[in-house]
Amino acid sequence: MKTFFSILAFFIIGIVFSQNEYTRTLKLMGSRFDMTVVANNEEEGNDFIDMAVNEISRIEKLISSWDANSQTSEINRNAGKKPVVVDEELFQLIERCIKISKLTDGAFDISYASMDKVWHFDGSMTEMPSEDTIKNSVAKVGYQNIILDATHHSVFLKLEGMKIGFGAIGKGYAADKAKALLQSKGVVGGIVNASGDLDAWGKQSNGKDWMVAIVNPLNKDKVFSWMPVRNSAVVTSGNYEKYVKFNNVLYTHIIDPRTGYPATGILSATIFTKTAELADALATSIFVMGVDTGLDFVNQLHGVECIIVDVNNKVITSNNITLKPNKD
């Protein structure tokens, strides 16, 4: 679950400049979006935000698996039957998703949407599903069965009943696209915060960096540290509100698409990198990989850093991050 409260988007102090920040909060893609732009006046700021909203709505119509008219739904309907020709934009997004799946050894997989719902995190579970039930739940999951044809821009899911979904990357992608559009329109600074998938550029109107707060996942009001965000993305994935516990093991609601078992060992993972799309996918992947494997993985990636809070509420960072404790 991407948690908007895990990232505090910005604060404004000090000198008054000719430009100001203008912010709007609304619901898009089924989630909370907080959009902030630096603009000359309120009318201009609202116009810019309207542009971003229209762009995000366009993307939702393209990638939503809930919209029966989307190209993604068309791909899913034809699983095991025939390839579906899609727009270049969607084709390239799926292509990048498969690359991330290969990079993470399947910890990230958009075919997770094929998974049977055998875990329930609403308090109704009284015992673990059987091993066979868990194994069968992921029988149709596997990025290797997503067949791309670059010549025809077609996508084919090999197994009947197989599905793809962009829940672990879609909001990050939408944030990136909204940011790119606003930059092309001359917006010098802003933030698109898609429920914790945060993409920032430029600076505040007072010339200061945008700031992100790293919070205690068990106490939203406690900030571990503030960090500047300079023309980059930050995504926090947190699972401390939806979980089940059996035999003293806390199972979070992010499921390993390779095994069908929920992730364990991590309360929240924050990823810093250039795009919200990549940060979104990697935040989910770190949960599945666990602390040690996840940290080792991130430390091998150029331009990617992470902050992990484990089940003991211990803060662990990748090699190139130094946290300065919050004094408040």
The pLDDT of residue 9 is above 50:
no
Domains defined for the chain, CATH in brackets = 71-157 (1.10.3980.10)
Residue 217 has pLDDT above 80, yes or no: no
Please write the tens of the pLDDT for every residue from 20-68: 999 999 999 999 999 999 999 999 999 999 999 999 999 999 999 999 9
Torsions phi, psi for 315 (to 5 deg): -90, 125
CA distance 211 to 116: 40
- Please, what's the b/e burial string for 53-85 (b: 16 or more CB within 10 A of its CB; e: otherwise)? bebbeebbebbbbeeeebbbbebbeebeeebbe
- Classify strands 154-157 and 20-28 as parallel, antiparallel or unpaired: unpaired
Residue 280: both structure tokens together: 């979104």
Say what percent of the chain tops pLDDT 90: 73
Tell if the pTM clears 0.75, that is, is over it.
yes
Say whether pLDDT at 268 is over 50: yes
Return the pLDDT at 247: 83
**pLDDT tens-digit series, residues 113-125:** 999 999 988 888 8
Which amino acid type is present at position 103?
A: L
Which phi and psi (to 5°) does residue 132 adopt? -65, -40
The SS3 of residue 46 is helix
Q: Is 123 helix (H, G, I), strand (E, B) or coil?
A: coil
Q: What is the pLDDT of residues 227-236, one digit of tens each?
A: 899 999 999 8
Q: How far apart are CA 279 and CA 108, in angstroms?
A: 12
Range with the largest mean pLDDT of 8-17, 120-129, 207-216, 285-294: 285-294
DSSP 129: P
